[in-house]
Structures are given as structure tokens and as C-alpha cells.
């Protein structure tokens, strides 16, 4: 009898846990090599209006998953007069680390689905997963402007 009850509890627990996962919550990619800060030399073009910026992508699962959805044009919202952000409907694999010193041009993921493009330097205690960095940020703040902005990301 104890054996049957134990098996029933195990089965119920497994069923409950498995039902909590929906397709919409699945990561865009599932591998995470934890290599959060190493840039691998892959290049990405970021276009804001007529301004074009080149970013070097990191060698990690977050950047790999992001590359898989490119090209993409999104409407990014303003936050704190230092960053633009966009929430994806799907999650990305992440390996977040405490932000510390953020630099203008850093492209990161907050949580597991919020793309953030910083256009001002700052220090933060929030945690991010790095995607890449814009090489030359001259004109980035002006291009992004105040308020929401349309940004296109594509591989070079």
C-alpha cells in the first residue's frame, strides 16, 4: 500500500511539473555555455533611422539565440534617460551577472526576455546577460533620441 501511494505521489508531482511548461515559455535556444563576456568577432549592424552602428557579438548562448532571430525590426521604449528596451514574447537563454559598470553601446538582456540597449554609462546592481557591444557610440544618443524609437538589428 505504501508503495502504491509513493508511486501515485511521484506520478502526480511529475504531471504537475510537466504541465507548468508551455511552448510559449520555451527559450529561443536552450544551450548556455556560460561564456558571458567574451566577444567572438561576429558583427551585427544596428540601424536607427539613417544612423548605422556596428556591434561585436559575445560568444555565449544569449547572443547565439539573439542571432537566430535576426534580422528583426522592433520598437524600443525609453527608460531612465539611459537605455532603450523591448520585451520579446519568447525567452532567451541567459547567464546573468551583476551589471556593475554599464557602458554606452552595451546590448544586454534583462531577465530572460527584455532586450536593453544602453546609450549612457552608468553603474547598476541589476543583473544582465551580455549580447554584444557597439564599437563606436558616436551619435548613438542622438540617433536614439527621446522616447520610443524603431531599431533594426541584422547580421553583417
What Å distances lie between residue 68 and 65, 78, 142, CA to CA?
A: 5, 25, 29
2-155: CATH number = 2.40.100.20
The answer to whether the CB of 122 falls within 8 A of the CB of 82 is: yes
Q: Using only C-alpha atoms, what is the Rg of the chain?
A: 19
- Report the pLDDT value the prediction gives residue 100, as an integer from 0 to 100: 87
Distance CA 119, CA 143 (A): 10
Which pLDDT value is given to residue 40? 58
| Cα atoms in the Cβ-side hemisphere of radius 13 Å centred on 67 | 20
Please report the pLDDT score of residue 39 as a whole number.
Answer: 54
Mean pLDDT per 10-residue section of the chain, whose length is 156 residues: 42 35 38 43 94 97 96 98 97 90 97 98 96 98 96 97
* C-alpha cell recorded at residue 85: 528596451
66: Cβ contacts below 8 Å, ≥ 6 apart: 28, 57, 92, 109, 115, 131, 153
Instruction: Map out the domains of the chain as residue ranges.
Output: 2-155
Amino acid at each position: 500500500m505504501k508503495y502504491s501511494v509513493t508511486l501515485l505521489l511521484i506520478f502526480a508531482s511529475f504531471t504537475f511539473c510537466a504541465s507548468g511548461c508551455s511552448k510559449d515559455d520555451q527559450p529561443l535556444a536552450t544551450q548556455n555555455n556560460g561564456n558571458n563576456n567574451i566577444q567572438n568577432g561576429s558583427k551585427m549592424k544596428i540601424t536607427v533611422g539613417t544612423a548605422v552602428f556596428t556591434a561585436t557579438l559575445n560568444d555565449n548562448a544569449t547572443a547565439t539565440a539573439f542571432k537566430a532571430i535576426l534580422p528583426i525590426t522592433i520598437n524600443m521604449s525609453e527608460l531612465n534617460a539611459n537605455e532603450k528596451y523591448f520585451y520579446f514574447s519568447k525567452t532567451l537563454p541567459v547567464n546573468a551577472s551583476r551589471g556593475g559598470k554599464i557602458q554606452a553601446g552595451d546590448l544586454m538582456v534583462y531577465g530572460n526576455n527584455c532586450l536593453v540597449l544602453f546609450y549612457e554609462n552608468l553603474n547598476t546592481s541589476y543583473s544582465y546577460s551580455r549580447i554584444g557591444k557597439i564599437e563606436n557610440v558616436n551619435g548613438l544618443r542622438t540617433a536614439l533620441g527621446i522616447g520610443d524609437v524603431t531599431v533594426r538589428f541584422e547580421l553583417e
